[in-house]
């Protein structure tokens, strides 16, 4: 019909591989993100393995977490790794100055973190301390983590329970150097980075990818300066962008009970990620046309006002269908830029900002964002495929508008063709006619995530209020049209 949207996938032209690390997570020492939410200690009544909650670890494993970034965030630039090794009862208690001024017991340190990633079957991304640390402190951490020698530090690691070096996939030198990481200029940071990186020596087979901490929001100067200055000493530059409904830090907007106006502004603000990636990639292209460097979006997601009655420093917020739609829109953007965006970390994994899981004592619930991540698993390591949308209307409200449908396709590692579709319109379903030149499509089969309310969410009383449901459509007379419900995320295999 005239209203039908056209979607053509060119399955004959696979593009860049979607790195599994695009689906990375972030676990900072912040609020109950680590303590309580994941770490309860080996003596807890809550069933755990080496101190990590079995329920939470099991759920995270089921969503195939490929990578975890730790220990911050802003926390990283005040974290001294030697506080977090050796007998736990002897570790110093510090103040978490960034996040609520609460006590930091250092119960979770290097070995505990690697227990967690081992339990998850994930890779590790360790963020070093440039702010209050030194080249020596970081260099010793890298030696402790990666040396297979009989050096004193490597032997200390053995004494603390780990014989072989840890596998560190990524190591970042500082975080948000423009802000909480030290209020620097990109030029000053670049000089410090070059100095520190020189001394981060790891055996070749254990060498992490080195990350330079980059810019945020509209500021591309960091990508410009760092891609020029650090080309030979880094594997990539990070970038942070958070989606705030009102666009204002003072009053960000509520996680639930929001008006449609804030649904719209959340959609339009999150879609700015595309423009940010384009601009940063273009800046990097000038100095790195071969795209050797990655653009690592190592913090992204929604940031709302904290829930009433909670510690403002804990960044605790509910998570609704709107968050799942935000996640899927960002995945589609990352896939389209898979040649440059090779790793990202959503903020954050448990109980903080746009989390996968919310816990309360021994209970946990999976959020709609969890379901979006888990539905998109077939895209991990898949080859992105070009697609075109035609006749795609705008969803408009009060002068603002965004494209109604966002889509992404890829050839999975299992050889199947996968398609993800998102409908940003909270009130209207959309018909999409799917066409794969050279292939007669018989059906699409997969799952849909949607609900009646824009702010549908799971609670401890109703933990399954929103979850994916089976979804399929079959071709009629060789033509396949999919009806995408309002405010929905769909992932299907195309047969």
> Within 379-418, which residues bind ligand AHR (CB under 6 A)?
none
**First and final C-alpha spacing in the chain:** 23
User: Judged by CB under 6 A, which of 175, 238, 266, 355 binds ligand AHR?
Assistant: 175
Q: Give the residue with the Cβ less far from ligand AHR, 20 or 29.
A: 29
- Please identify which residue in 73, 109, 131, 182 interacts with ligand AHR, judged by CB under 6 A: 73
CB of 73 to ligand AHR, least distance (A): 3
347 binds ligand AHR (CB under 6 A): yes
Q: Does 299 bind ligand AHR (CB under 6 A)?
A: yes
From the list 137, 140, 299, 374, the catalytic residue is 299
Applying CB under 6 A, does 72 fall inside the site for ligand AHR? yes
Nearest CA among 67, 215, 77, 204 for reference residue 138 = 77
To the nearest whole angstrom, how small is the minimum distance from the Cβ of residue 344 to ligand AHR?
13
Can you tell me the distance from the alpha carbon of 30 to that of 263, in angstroms, rounded to the nearest whole number? Answer: 27
295 binds ligand AHR (CB under 6 A): no
Q: Is residue 31 within the footprint of ligand AHR (CB under 6 A)?
A: no
- Closest contact distance (angstroms) between CB of 355 and ligand AHR is 11
For residue 7, is the peptide bond before it cis, meaning its omega torsion is within 30 degrees of 0?
A: no
170 vs 395, beta carbon nearer ligand AHR: 170
Min separation Cβ 299 and ligand AHR, Å:
5
Q: Are 383 and 18 in contact (CB under 8 A)?
A: yes
Separation of alpha carbons 81 and 226, rounded Å: 26
Q: Is 140 a catalytic residue?
A: no
Q: Is 399 helix (H, G, I), strand (E, B) or coil?
A: coil
Report the distance separating Cα 373 and Cα 13, nearest Å: 26
Tell me how far, at minimum, the Cβ of 175 lies from ligand AHR, in Å. Answer: 5
Contact 374, 62 (CB under 8 A): yes
User: What are the two backbone dihedrals, phi and then psi, of residue 358, each rounded to the nearest 5 degrees?
Assistant: -120, 135
CA-CA distance, 246 to 265, in Å (whole number)? 7
Instruction: Give the C-alpha separation, 134 to 192, whole Å.
Output: 10
**Which single residue brings its beta carbon nearest to ligand AHR?**
73
Which of 104, 176, 288, 323 binds ligand AHR (CB under 6 A)? It is 176
Among 59, 65, 74, 402, the residue binding ligand AHR under the rule CB under 6 A is 74
Q: Of the listed 137, 140, 143, 176, which one is catalytic?
A: 176
180 or 480: CB nearest ligand AHR:
180
Q: Is 103 a catalytic residue?
A: no
- Smallest Cα–Cα separation from 109: which of 149, 65, 57, 162? 162
Cα–Cα distance measured from residue 414 to residue 442, given in angstroms and rounded to the nearest whole number: 19
The 8-class DSSP code of residue 45 comes to: S
Binding site for ligand AHR (CB under 6 A): 28, 72-74, 175-176, 299, 347-348, 353
- The residues annotated with a catalytic role in the active site are 176, 299
């Amino acid at each position: 019909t005239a209203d039908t949207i056209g979607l053509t996938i060119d399955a004959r032209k696979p593009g860049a591989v979607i790195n599994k690390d695009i689906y990375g997570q972030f676990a900072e020492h912040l609020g109950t993100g680590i303590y309580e939410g994941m770490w309860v200690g080996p003596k807890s009544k809550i069933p755990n393995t080496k101190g990590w909650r079995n329920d939470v670890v099991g759920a995270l494993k089921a969503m195939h977490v490929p990578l975890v970034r730790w220990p911050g965030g802003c926390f990283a630039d005040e974290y001294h790794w030697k506080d977090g090794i050796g007998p736990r009862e002897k570790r110093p208690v510090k103040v978490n100055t960034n996040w609520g001024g609460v006590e930091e017991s250092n119960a979770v340190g290097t070995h505990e973190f690697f227990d967690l990633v081992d339990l998850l079957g994930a890779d590790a991304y360790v963020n070093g301390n440039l702010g209050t640390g030194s080249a020596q402190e970081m260099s010793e951490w890298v030696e402790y983590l990666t040396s297979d020698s009989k050096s004193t530090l490597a032997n200390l690691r053995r004494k603390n329970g780990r014989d072989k070096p840890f596998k560190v996939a990524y190591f970042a030198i500082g975080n948000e150097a423009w802000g909480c990481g030290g209020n620097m200029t990109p030029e000053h940071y670049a000089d410090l980075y070059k100095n520190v990186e020189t001394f981060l020596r790891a055996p070749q087979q254990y060498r992490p990818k080195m990350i330079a901490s980059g810019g945020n929001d509209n500021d591309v100067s960091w990508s410009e300066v760092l891609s020029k200055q650090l080309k030979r000493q880094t594997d990539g530059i990070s970038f942070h962008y958070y989606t705030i409904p009102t666009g204002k830090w003072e009053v960000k907007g509520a996680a639930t009970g929001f008006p449609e106006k804030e649904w719209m502004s959340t959609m339009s603000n999150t879609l700015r990620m595309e423009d940010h990636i384009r601009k940063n990639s273009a800046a990097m292209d000038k100095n790195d046309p071969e795209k050797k460097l990655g653009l690592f979006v190592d913090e992204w997601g929604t940031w709302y006002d904290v829930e009433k009655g909670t510690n403002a420093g804990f960044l605790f917020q509910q998570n609704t269908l709107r968050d799942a739609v935000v996640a899927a829109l960002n995945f589609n953007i990352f896939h389209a830029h898979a040649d440059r965006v090779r790793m990202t970390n959503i903020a954050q994994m448990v109980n903080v900002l746009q989390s996968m899981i919310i816990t309360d004592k021994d209970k946990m619930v999976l959020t709609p964002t969890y379901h979006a991540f888990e539905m998109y698993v077939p895209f991990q390591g898949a080859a992105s495929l070009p697609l075109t949308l035609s006749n795609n209307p705008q969803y408009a409200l009060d002068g603002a508008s965004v494209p109604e449908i966002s889509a992404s396709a890829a050839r999975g590692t299992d050889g199947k063709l996968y398609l993800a579709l998102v409908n940003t319109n909270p009130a209207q379903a959309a018909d999409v006619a799917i066409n794969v030149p050279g292939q007669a499509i018989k059906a699409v089969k997969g799952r849909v995530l949607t609900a009646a309310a824009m702010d549908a969410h799971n609670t401890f009383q109703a933990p399954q209020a929103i979850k994916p449901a089976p979804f399929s459509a079959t071709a009629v007379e060789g033509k396949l049209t999919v009806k995408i419900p309002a405010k929905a995320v769909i992932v299907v295999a195309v047969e």
